[in-house]
């Protein structure tokens, strides 16, 4: 019988965390977080692993450094940050969204332009593939403002339904990449701790 008390899972805040709870409990793992709690760390016990609730970009770092055995994070962040030292061990079919190019005109760029994004690598790779001449304006949030205030003609951002774009009179032009929640693991812990594999198997097998 497995004992999960020394296993830790780093979980990205936001839509991934919200959609994970039913999957977690369906996989016969007790959810350690009390409703409305603002705690960020919850220790595990024999029945289920501990959980740490963190910003998405920090999940791969915590797993690579061994502070967490498993991580649950969007594939967009794995591509963007190019984090080494983790294994991608499963897809969860949760928090499905996409990284898109959007602007006010709904047309692909024609000539040099500026684009605002928090995704520097994904945006640069997209621009290079399409032979666009563009300057990237780095913003960490509120990207929809950039075209409205004249900072950049286009944005590259992650969307789920596109409603926020529509509310700011922006039009989705092209999908750059899909994204969804995935499981990553620390390579050494993956080999040494069979409970880590068990948790992965439970979460992946109990697809919603």
User: Rounded CA gap, 12 and 9, in Å?
Assistant: 10
Structure tokens at 160: 């789920």
Instruction: List the domain boundaries for the chain.
Output: 8-95+180-205, 97-178
Distance of CA 79 to CAs 15, 121, 161, 205, Å? 18, 8, 21, 25
Helix, strand or coil, per DSSP, at residue 176: strand
Fold of 8-95+180-205: D-Maltodextrin-Binding Protein; domain 2 (3.40.190)
CA-wise closest residue to 75 among 160, 179, 157, 177:
179
Q: How many other CB atoms are found less than 10 A from the CB of residue 121?
A: 12
Q: Each residue's pLDDT tens digit in the chain (208 positions)?
A: 567 888 999 999 989 998 998 888 888 888 877 767 777 888 878 788 989 999 999 999 999 999 999 999 999 999 998 778 999 999 998 999 999 999 998 889 888 999 999 999 999 999 999 999 999 999 998 999 999 999 999 999 999 999 999 999 999 999 999 999 999 999 999 999 999 999 999 998 855 4
User: Rounded CA gap, 45 and 100, in Å?
Assistant: 41
> On the CB side of 193, how many CA atoms lie within 13 Å of its CA?
21
User: Rounded CA gap, 94 and 208, in Å?
Assistant: 8
Q: Which CATH number fits domain 97-178: 3.40.190.10, 3.30.300.30, 3.10.580.10, 3.90.650.10?
A: 3.40.190.10
pLDDT of amino acid 208: 47
DSSP alpha helix (H) spans, the chain: 15-26, 59-64, 75-81, 120-129, 145-148, 163-167, 187-192, 194-205
pLDDT of amino acid 91: 93
CA-wise closest residue to 174 among 108, 125, 111, 117:
108
């Amino acid at each position: 019988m497995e004992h999960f008390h020394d296993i830790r899972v780093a979980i990205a805040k936001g839509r991934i965390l919200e959609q994970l709870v039913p999957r977690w409990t369906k996989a016969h793992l007790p959810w350690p977080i009390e409703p409305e709690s603002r705690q960020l760390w919850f220790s595990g016990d024999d029945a289920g692993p501990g959980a740490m609730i963190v910003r998405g970009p920090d999940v791969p770092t915590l797993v690579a450094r061994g502070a967490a055995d498993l991580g649950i994070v969007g594939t967009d962040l794995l591509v963007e940050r190019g984090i080494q030292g983790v294994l991608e061990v499963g897809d969860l079919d949760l928090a499905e969204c996409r990284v898109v190019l959007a602007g006010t005109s709904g047309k692909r760029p024609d000539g040099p332009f500026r684009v605002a994004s928090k995704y520097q690598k994904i945006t640069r790779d997209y621009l290079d593939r399409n032979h666009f001449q563009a300057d990237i304006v780095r913003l960490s949030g509120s990207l929809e403002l950039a075209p409205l205030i004249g900072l950049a003609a286009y944005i590259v951002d992650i969307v789920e339904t596109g409603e926020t774009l529509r509310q700011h009179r922006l039009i989705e032009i092209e999908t750059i990449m899909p994204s969804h929640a995935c499981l990553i693991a620390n390579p050494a812990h993956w080999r040494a701790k069979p409970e880590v594999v068990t948790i992965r198997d439970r979460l992946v097998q109990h697809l919603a």
